[in-house]
Structure 1
Amino acid sequence: MALPLFGKTILEQTEATYRRVFAEVVVVTKDRVSESAALEGMGGTLREAARLLPGYWQGVVIALGDMPFVGISSLQALLQAIEKNPEEVWCLSYRGQRGHPVYLPGKYFSCLKRLTGDTGLRDLLPELNPKYIDTEDYGVLFDIDKPDDYLSFQRLVVVKGAGDIATGIIWRLHQAGFKVVATELSKPTAIRRMVAFAQAIYTGEHTVEGVTARKANLEEVPNLLANGIIPVIPDEKSIVVKELKPWAVIDARLAKKNLGTKKEEAEIVIGVGPGFTAPVEVHAVIETKRGHYLGRAIYQGSALPDTGIPGEIGGHTVKRVVYSPGRGKICWYFDFGQEVKAGEVIGTVGEKQIVAEVSGVIRGLIHPEVRVEEGMKIGDIDPRGIKEYAFTISEKALAVAGGVLEVLLKLGNPGLK
């Protein structure tokens, strides 16, 4: 349990989670019990650990140190049940399957003295008639017993940015089995919000093609990842990488310049688009310009420079992109997937009208909470006129994601370098 996990050890992660909910926590390690009890297994360890309980405790929540993924909300539900009826035995469960932790009232402390072997509370609980608090939290079942349990969490990936291109990367890595955390601004400026996990910052939760992201803080990361959810963390002060100490960092903010990403941040650091040079600032760069080189991994050099001209879609370049006619607050008259005609007013910025320059389907609209500047990109119209494209990840995003996946597999496998 001394193995590293998200900037702490597994045991430290578990302890930190419980300390956020419970007033007192006693950590029992093998140096606090006899050698024979430790060798005996869980039963022997619990039997001896019982003598370490403070005399004034009227109940105890028994948790396992190799289960760092239990959600804080699950523990809060357990605490509420205990406070309501402290004389009952309480267990957390996941969809009807008993998990951990388990609460025992003081009247059952003597039962711990009967435990032997490596079965823990398993044989004891049936006679105590426990009450279950059922959850949708897989963390109450998931413990790190085998190398495979640990490996996927050891190779944590942090993606800076959660716009549509970054979301294509996150989505593809998630499908390939990687554990991914995204960071964003407190008010993201993503345009294609229906296919951007950045939308979760505004709505709390957002799903793109079957993968769900949730606005989160650092403490919620282990539980969300264990439940297959992408944490999206507002990170204006750039602390997430420092705290989580990921295996790989991908800067997919598409700022056209390096905002401070360095190779020293992780074992593998990737820059997406112009502004990065490999292997100087990052280990690899991914080409984002539409055309023959889109999605290529560059291990020596940089992506093609930004021309300021959007890629061609449906025969249009600049006209398909909506730019702000002024400065201030936006009010949109159309929604994602709706058809517009060239010349139609699709919204306003202050008192100035936003006029569509091409006919097509609304594919991108910046969030109304973002105060925009004149000339800022605020929308996107797809002249191909296919509604589904507004709600599915683009071929460009998936091509870029393929390049990222190549780099992670190549540089993460010493035999392929």
Structure 2
Amino acid sequence: MGTHVIKMPDIGEGIAEVELSQWHVKVGDMVVEDQVLADVMTDKAMVDIPSPVHGKVLALGGQPGEVMAVGSVLISIEVEGAGNVKESTQPVVAVKEAPVVASKVEAVVESKPMAAPRPAAVCQGPMVAREADERPLASPAVRKHALDLGIQLRLVRGSGPAGRVLHEDLEAYLAQGQSNASAPATAAYAQRNDEEQIPVIGMRRKIAQRMQDATQRAAHFSYVEEIDVTAVEELRAHLNEKHGATRGKLTLLPFLVRALVVALRDFPQINARYDDEAQVITRLGAVHVGVATQADIGLMVPVVRHAEARSLWDSAAEISRLATAARTGKASRDELSGSTITLTSLGALGGIVSTPVLNLPEVAIVGVNKIVERPMVVKGQIVIRKMMNLSSSFDHRVVDGMDAAQFIQAIRGLLEQPATLFVE
């Protein structure tokens, strides 16, 4: 038997160090080739580290949240044969594993309200024997789902890699038992004194750093305008009815992307990046639209490249593809970088007004609020119209207030008269 050492790989782009986000294995586990051993976080994306060998985990080279240099020892595995290191120079000392702590659960953007928590579920089938303080592997979304269902995760058998609990495991657990309908009504009013400390690591740390940096460096100001989207919604419904089966369904986002593209022709100073250290503004002809997307690991911004050259359906397909890649953790670094302006939407949860934070080094972000039906006065008559606010933020170091207002008014005009989106 020998020892095979896996070092932190060079992920490229001149990255010298990465953050160890999560282990998928522990000391003593048997692993197979291509099994994911750990997740590491770069400045732009989460990256899986797979095993190149079969064997048994001897030692781990770091703890979640630790920043590790490229080339440092990540993990050592006992393998058949000689391995890749000499026995006399074991490079890794086994570390005591820290308990896996749930990341803070962020609001997941959906098209319907979040369901109210169910009563605690009681399982009548086989359960996993875990210690009371042991935390099973699970994503933040799975932990939130379990909380809503009233399920104790430590009792659920995980079917994912390294025993990771998946959404389907929660459903299987529920199928084995039934809700505890006879639970005393006073249980909801019982005092609680429990606490949970949540380390800010991985994607959550990167988001925190970027948001803090953006608010400290840029001179934010926001501008809100309401838009009558009745006509564009009627057009969208008509196109979906006529072409939805063959070309795919359209949401409002492709129309917003198109409106951005057309409006930016007259406002090139807004499709720009500002290097505040070099004191240089770069205006770009290409419109690379970042679409803020909520994933299990946090907020990600995949990029629809060259939106100026895409049709409605092409934009819709690319937005859908990128959102799926981001939510499943499969978006590449290239797909998560290079945007020139960002579009952010909370869908049905969008509220009335928001103040989005800039995605530096961009100088503008357009925030979409929810659509509501309201009585409006049109040509002296009170009619019901579909109304939506745009809550957008700009970097006042680069964008003047007048330019920002005129830019949003241009978008408003395009969406309220949607035929103008396609008139050249």
TM range (shorter): under 0.3
TM-score, length-scaled by structure 1:
0.27
- Greater relative CO, 1 or 2 (CA 8 Å, sep 6+): 2
TM-score, length-scaled by structure 2:
0.26
